[in-house]
Amino acid sequence: MSAPRAVSAQEHLADRAQATALCRYASPAPEEAPTKAMRPAGEVVSAGSGRPSAQHPIELASWVEARSAKLLQVYSVDISALAFRLAAYDPRRRLLSVVAPPVFEVFDGAFGVTFEPEAAILYEVDEAVAEEVRAAWVSGALSLRLYFVVASVRAPESPLCLPGADGAQVRLPAQLLATRLWRAPEAGARVATLDAAMVMLEQRLPVATALASVYGLEPFGSPGALPHVSVRQAASPSSADGAPLADPTPLAHDLERLALPCYLHALGQGGPQTAALTVEAVFDGASVTGSFVNVDASGFPPLGACIVEKVRQLVAPEALGPWRVRFTAYFERR
């Protein structure tokens, strides 16, 4: 079985509703869901069975899958001419720079985008071009488009968004990949996709190349090969009493979805781009009572430790006597 491949694109955040939808996945797990992965979502469960109840309709594995797709995304947002300023042109270095504030406020200050490390927005241009750009800025026709990834892509267990002081502003920690200074075809026009005629200056930061090589994320153009996890049953389930066992295939699919953040975190820590490991899960009823790595071919122990933790979140579709199942997880870019 193969988990659905996350699709990366350049999603332009044009309004407060889109930013709110993104920050809905701030937490690694939904607060209203239990700590165990659930399947199926609407199943009614008898009391005392140790299985999830229908009172929690959101599946943890589905939540993690949706959140991972949010992490594997390049976002863009526009800053109006009134919200940034241009520094004086440096003729000796032929540089025109944007004075970057500590927080780029968007959507009437409801959200603030912060960059770590701090953004350095520089363009190498001739003086005549710099004067044309400055004229567009003074007229209010110029906008600054920021292209970024959320900081959580390197540390998926960290919050995607953070509440501001007194709840006044939601902060979105990010890493800047590229910028564009662009001129709208008419005053106040909102444009999701920029054409070449609108773009006056463009900057691609060196980190964009690094992120493309690690995660396949591109600020411009089509995405590259994205991180992918596939899980296979490595051995038939075994039971101490010989009772018929549930098909572990749905568990393998759950583990694929739960394991992707482990892979993203490993990549962010310099882990291998390609890896494999075999893990064993011991069940008593529907719950995992023990898990451990049998074979680790990753050469990166933190990846195995993370997968062991994810295995403990699995819940079997049937509550049976003590039994165990072995899975092999493959990590690669596709």
With b meaning 16 or more CB within 10 Å and e meaning fewer, what string describes 294-305?
Answer: eebebebeebbe
Lowest-pLDDT range of 194-203, 232-241, 261-270: 232-241
* 238 — pLDDT class (breaks 50, 70, 90): low
Structure confidence at residue 2 (pLDDT): 35
Structure confidence at residue 57 (pLDDT): 33
CA distance 190 to 78: 9
Count CB-CB contacts under 10 A for residue 163: 13
Q: Tell me the two tokens of residue 111.
A: 């959200």
* 79 — pLDDT class (breaks 50, 70, 90): very high
Give the residue, 124 or 36, on which the prediction is more confident: 124
- Where exactly are the structural domains of the chain? 73-215, 226-333
* 315 — pLDDT class (breaks 50, 70, 90): confident
pLDDT over threshold 80, residue 73: yes
Structure confidence at residue 221 (pLDDT): 81
Q: What is the mean pLDDT of residues 229-238?
A: 80
Q: How many CA atoms lie within 13 A of 128 on its CB side?
A: 0
Longest Cα–Cα distance in the chain: 83
Structure confidence at residue 241 (pLDDT): 61
Q: What is the mean pLDDT of residues 247-272?
A: 91
The pair phi, psi for residue 254, each rounded to 5°, is -60, -45
pLDDT digits (tens, 9 = 90+) for 279-300: 999 988 888 999 999 999 999 9
Q: Tell me the two tokens of residue 108.
A: 């009437």
SS (H, E, C) the chain: CECCCCCCCEEECCCHHHHHHHHCCCCCCCCCCCCCCCCCCCCCCCCCCCCCCCCCCCCHHHHHHHHHHHHCCEEEEEEEHHHCEECCCECCCCEEEEECCCCEEECCCCEEEEECCCCCEEEECCHHHHHHHHHHHHHCCEEEEEEEEEHHHCCCCCCCCEECHHHCCEEEEEEEEEEEEEECCCCCCCCCCCCCCCEEEEEECHHHHHHHHHHCCCCCCCCCCCEEEEEEEEEEEEECCCCCCCCCHHHHHHHHHHHHHHHHHHHHCCCCCCEEEEEEEEEEEEEEEEEEEEEECCCCHHHHHHHHHHHCCCEEEEEEEEEEEEEEEEEEEC
